[in-house]
Amino acid sequence: MADSTLYPTAYRTHSLGQIQTQGVDLLDKEVTICGYAQAIRGKGKICFLDLRDGTGLCQVFLKQGLVDDDVLSSVQNASRESTIQFTGTVAQKRAPKVAEGEPVPPPEYEVVATGVNILSLAATPLPLGVTDTVHVELDTRLDNRFLDLRRTHVNAIFNLRAKILQYGREHLINEGFKEINSPKIIAAAAEGGTNLFPMKYFERDAYLSQSPQLYKQLAILGGLERVFEIGPAFRAENHDTYRHLNEFVSFDIEMAWANDEDVMAVQERMINHIWSSVAANDGKEIEAINVYRRTQEMDDIVVEVPSIPFPRVEYSDAIEMIAAAGQDITWGDDIEAHHADIIAEHHSGFHFIPRWPMPMKPFYIYHEKDETSPSGGQLSRGFDLNYGRDEMTSGGQREHRADVLTQNLIDVNLDPADFDFYIDGFRFGAPPHAGWGLGVARLTMALTGSRNVRETVLFPRDRKRCTP
């Protein structure tokens, strides 16, 4: 995380990560650093302070004579997590003793303080410990997220979430996709009418967007060829599970002249790129999570780069697999969480489930004319991507025939008149196209070994939580 390209600011010349990575060049030089006081040791004439910022840790050494007595005692008496600025010189920390034959750790650096400025004293007691490894309930953590985020492994989860977005974006841009932003105040439901959050929009009713679906398609119909969007989606769902929220970030693509297989290939290449980039660059974040997991007696997470193509378990084969395991399921039924467990026994990593029956997929999905399918031509070009038991993505080829699209709306009891703005887009020449929507929090769960989607969302919104 130590970033050698960080510029100095009004408050510091160097980050703590830079002190550790560039320490050899900084030896005996004067620096100004800032951070949270993580631990303060020493009475009387000396004091050792572990200072932490968002890039790392550095020990600060204070000694009578180098700083005034009252300054020394104010640091010794400062509460944990207070923010302090120090000016001082960089020195090499005394190397810890290592047993013979053991590897010698790389040198660490400290700052010998000559100037101190207490920026903000932390109130006591802290509502939750930043370095403690005792288990804290998720609700307490979320109520005090500002402190929870200071914990190294929690910080690492959000750094990795940012990397998912960075590497994902980078990959799509390299494949010729352009980033778009669609409206979040909408007048018609994309994903069914029952889970909309209504809002007042001047004199009329409007809703919060459930998905950029209709707009990303209109962008393709308008000739933008390949688009992606990373933005919020709102669902007034009652689900109270480890993987559902009422606001989530949806990572969407849409692509012209393409079918379901084409966009599945984009997805697996993108995930392969994200996983291999994390494996190559972000080992420190993974290790930070593992250090914590060991204190909780949990297994280490390992970033296994998934090879492509990902396995494909067609819907019909999935139904057979689930039925063979003794479950009461027939073609046309939904694949529920406990069914997904059975598939996950065969495929614990990423796997696609393509070719769902049309009645189980949204009206905008392409209607496959396949008289051999058990549904008599009702097969869709819709797919899901699962990681183990959890759905990460839905997507598919889209219906680009305006008449079929209108009939699809009628079939699901939606009024085509409410969708004129959308169907009109198909009346004047429409490219066949396909796309998908990926849940960022769920993908972050998969990467970081988190067991609850709330772990991977800064300020989650669920049925019971609308603050902080």
* 191 lines the binding site for ligand AMO (CB under 6 A): yes
What is the four-CA torsion angle of 293, 298, 299, 304, rounded to 10 degrees?
A: -60
What is residue 117's DSSP assignment? Answer: E
* 23 lines the binding site for ligand AMO (CB under 6 A): no
Number of residues that bind ligand AMO (CB under 6 A): 23
CA 50 to chain centre: 30
* 17 lines the binding site for ligand AMO (CB under 6 A): no
With CA atoms as reference, report the closest residue to 120 among 78, 158, 152, 155.
78
Structure tokens at 360: 């189980």
Q: Tell me which stretch binds ligand AMO (CB under 6 A): 3-11, 302-310, 313-321, 432-440.
A: 432-440
* 391 lines the binding site for ligand AMO (CB under 6 A): yes
* 462 lines the binding site for ligand AMO (CB under 6 A): no
Separation in Å, CA 69 to CA 43, 59, 64, 116, 117: 12, 20, 6, 12, 14
Nearer to ligand AMO, 400 or 442 (CB): 442
Q: At what angle do helices 283-295 and 152-174 cross, to 10 degrees?
A: 150
* 394 lines the binding site for ligand AMO (CB under 6 A): yes
Distance of alpha carbon 426 from alpha carbon 220, whole angstroms? 10
* Min CB(181)–ligand AMO separation in Å: 16
Nearer to ligand AMO, 62 or 392 (CB): 392
Nearer to ligand AMO, 67 or 274 (CB): 274
* 267 lines the binding site for ligand AMO (CB under 6 A): no
Q: Which of 56, 168, 439, 460 binds ligand AMO (CB under 6 A)?
A: 439
Nearer to ligand AMO, 277 or 393 (CB): 393
Q: Kindly provide the b/e burial profile for residues 355-393, where b requires at least 16 CB atoms within 10 angstroms of the residue's own CB.
A: bbbbebbbbbbbbbeeeebebeebbbbbbbbbbbbbbbb
* Min CB(237)–ligand AMO separation in Å: 5
* Min CB(418)–ligand AMO separation in Å: 17
Distance of alpha carbon 180 from alpha carbon 226, whole angstroms? 10
* 393 lines the binding site for ligand AMO (CB under 6 A): yes
* 442 lines the binding site for ligand AMO (CB under 6 A): yes
Structure tokens at 436: 């998908």
Q: Tell me which stretch binds ligand AMO (CB under 6 A): 54-62, 145-153, 420-428, 437-445.
A: 437-445
With CA atoms as reference, report the closest residue to 428 among 223, 260, 256.
223
CB 276 within 8 A of CB 136: no
Nearer to ligand AMO, 50 or 462 (CB): 462
Q: Based on C-alpha coordinates, what's the Rg of the chain?
A: 27
* Min CB(310)–ligand AMO separation in Å: 15
Nearer to ligand AMO, 56 or 396 (CB): 396
For residue 105, is the peptide bond before it cis, meaning its omega torsion is within 30 degrees of 0?
no
* 217 lines the binding site for ligand AMO (CB under 6 A): no
* 252 lines the binding site for ligand AMO (CB under 6 A): yes
- Give the residues lining the site for ligand AMO (CB under 6 A): 191, 211, 213, 235, 237, 244-245, 248, 250, 252, 391-396, 435-437, 439, 441-442, 453
